């Protein structure tokens, strides 16, 4: 795998921290993105359920209960393998939530896999989630807080703490862009 200078970056962070924004920035350097949440949203849709925070959270929990903590990572690796087969050498995995997922990716992907955590304060993230206007966006801060606790119960806090890199996203978009592009270019420099 590493003969092709493959880089696979798992992006972790609390909801609204800027994981998708990081993935968008990485597109400038030809990264392709696989969104773990899309696997869950697809399952919600397949079950004929409305895409609400409750349904999304319940389906995510049920998948993990039925198939193990790494079930979503396994489904995500199917898409990653497809991209690698198409000679995509730089891939972002958006939405890693647990150390079990990290362990699964490390076992499946090897030394080409790194975890980048995006950090932003809770009130900043709540405001961002409300601006998204997605159907699963929290309507109140209490709803937001319940989602936070659910994410943390999966081990997201531990995943963030033990990531290879942490980028702050509490300031302007321009500053976050600078931090993200700097890290991505540094990682590309490691290839040479």
> Is the per-residue pLDDT at 192 higher than 50?
no
> How far is C-alpha 113 from the geometric centre of its chain's CA atoms?
13
Predicted confidence at residue 137, as pLDDT, reads 82
Domain CATH for 110:
3.40.50.300
Predicted confidence at residue 108, as pLDDT, reads 95
Share of the chain above pLDDT 70, in %: 97
Task: Provide the 3-class DSSP secondary structure of residue 11.
Answer: strand
Query: Within 13 Å, how many C-alpha atoms sit on residue 40's CB side?
Result: 25
How confident is the model over 111-144, as pLDDT tens digits?
Answer: 999 999 999 999 999 999 988 877 778 889 999 9
Q: Which strand ranges, in their side-by-side order, compose the sheet holding 7-12?
A: 32-35, 90-96, 7-12, 113-119, 165-168
pTM of the predicted model, to two decimals? 0.83
Share of the chain above pLDDT 90, in %: 68
Question: 121: which DSSP letter?
Answer: -
Range of the domain at 150: 2-189
Average pLDDT taken over every residue of the chain: 90
Overall average pLDDT of the 101-115 stretch: 95
Predicted confidence at residue 3, as pLDDT, reads 61
Overall average pLDDT of the 97-111 stretch: 93
How confident is the model over 47-101, as pLDDT tens digits?
Answer: 999 988 789 889 988 998 999 889 999 989 999 999 999 999 999 999 898 899 9
Overall average pLDDT of the 26-46 stretch: 92
Predicted confidence at residue 189, as pLDDT, reads 79
> Is the per-residue pLDDT at 39 higher than 50?
yes
Query: Domain tally for the chain?
Result: 1
């Amino acid at each position: 795998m590493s003969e092709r200078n493959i880089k696979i970056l798992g992006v972790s962070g609390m909801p609204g921290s800027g994981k998708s924004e990081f993935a968008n920035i990485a597109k400038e350097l030809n990264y392709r993105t696989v969104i773990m949440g899309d696997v869950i949203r697809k399952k919600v849709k397949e079950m004929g359920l409305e895409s609400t925070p409750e349904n999304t959270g319940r389906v995510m929990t049920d998948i993990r209960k039925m198939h193990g903590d790494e079930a979503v990572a396994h489904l995500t690796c199917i898409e990653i393998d497809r991209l690698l087969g198409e000679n995509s050498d730089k891939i972002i995995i958006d939405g890693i939530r647990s150390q079990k997922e990290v362990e699964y990716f490390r076992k499946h992907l090897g030394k080409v896999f790194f975890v980048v955590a995006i950090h932003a304060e809770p009130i900043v993230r709540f405001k961002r989630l409300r601006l998204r206007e997605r159907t699963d966006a929290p309507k109140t801060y209490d709803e937001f807080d319940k989602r936070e606790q659910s994410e943390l119960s999966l081990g997201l806090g531990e995943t963030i703490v033990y990531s290879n890199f942490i980028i702050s996203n509490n300031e302007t978009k321009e500053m976050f862009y600078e931090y993200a592009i700097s890290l991505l270019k540094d990682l590309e420099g490691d290839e040479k």
